[in-house]
Structure 1
């Protein structure tokens, strides 16, 4: 019985849940914030995140959310699927209904701007 309890404690301690990572607002790049709160209510939070060329977003987690691209660019995205470059077009929207985590870097030549809407 002691061995089972020890193994369970070891597993729990060694697991790194996404919540130990910063959320999009807390995460920044090289010590500087990239997101700002545009609106926050009891129901939702709306962030505006701005990425000039060669600026990214340190590894962070997202709760389920909706996103909209105000200005696009090309991003290097690193997540559980690996690292890849993805062109992100102005006007594109997406939604994610699960907890996710990633790190991004604007490898394009234009400033990208996103709106992130997070239900609470």
Structure 2
């Protein structure tokens, strides 16, 4: 019984930050949505996220996912590693196998668009 309670407490503490953050669809920028659902099934959700210049994505979490850059740009990213500015080229792909958290801001002069494919 004590082991079960201890395990439950550990799980609650380790998931706390994710539980309090919005997911990418719920998160927006200054009250406006930046992502839309293109397709959703019982196994996955596909989002299209659009960031005009000076528009970002408030701090949010991602489940494991695959991403594809439809239109690149320059982003300021803030995550557990700190804040950095990076160029993201069109056609770039990435994947994450674990939960992640970040906030982004398009600091470039063109609109950037991304596909995010999440497993459920």
- TM-score norm. by structure 1 comes to 0.87
Larger radius of gyration: 1
Distance 2:107 2:16 in 1: 29
Gaps of 5+ in 1: 1-8
Gaps of 5+ in 2: 1-8
Counterpart of 1:18 in structure 2 is 18
- What SS is found at the alignment partner of 2:84? strand
Counterpart of 2:35 in structure 1 is 35
Counterpart of 2:112 in structure 1 is 112
Distance 1:22 1:106 in 2: 19
Q: What is the CA distance between 1:17 and its match in structure 2?
A: 2.3
Give every structure 1 segment of 4 or more consecutive aligned residues whose post-TM-superposition deviation is greater than 6 Å.
Answer: none
| Aligned positions of 1:40-51 closer than 5 A | 40-51=40-51
Distance 1:107 1:21 in 2: 23
| CA RMSD across the alignment | 1.4
- TM-score norm. by structure 2 comes to 0.87
